[in-house]
Copies of this chain bind each other. A is one copy, B any other.
Amino acid sequence: MIEIFENIKFGKNGLIPAVIQDEKSKKALTLCYMNKKALEKTLKTGKVYVYRRSKGRVMMKGETSGCVQRVRSVCIDCEGNSLLVKVEQERAACHEGYFSCYFRKMDKKGRLKTIEKRIFDPKKVYRVLSE
């Protein structure tokens, strides 16, 4: 289906990193990884699919939590080795319950401080997984 994938440099592991940004708030949400199949499904379905390294398979973002990401645009960087995917984020992107995965700020000494408020309780959302 995809005609021109030769512009895209998938890494040695077959993956390309994709920055996910919420189109409305412009907040950077997360960095995920796509293989060719995940990118094809993302472009075809209009929802973000990622290659989940810990599970070794392609999954739709929000498959468990319902927090799907509807694709608004996909851009590629000058080198062809990373993507920027602008999305409409359902509820929250982070499995810890925050809108963005970047909810901890680092000071000059590397100490971390949480700067965002939780949107949902991950124990409730992912309860089905641990039962």
Chain A residues close to B by CB (< 8 Å): 1-5, 7-8, 17, 19, 21, 26-28, 30-31, 43-44, 73-79, 82-84, 94-96, 98, 101-106, 108-112, 115
Closest to A27 in B: B26
**A74 touching B105, Cβ below 8 Å:** yes
**Chain A contact residues: over half helix, strand or loop, or mixed?**
loop
- Once the chains are docked, how many angstroms separate the CA of A1 from the CA of B77? 34
Closest to A7 in B: B112
**A78 touching B105, Cβ below 8 Å:** no
**A75 touching B7, Cβ below 8 Å:** no
Give the residue of B104, B105, B106, B108 whose beta carbon is less than 8 angstroms from that of A44: B108
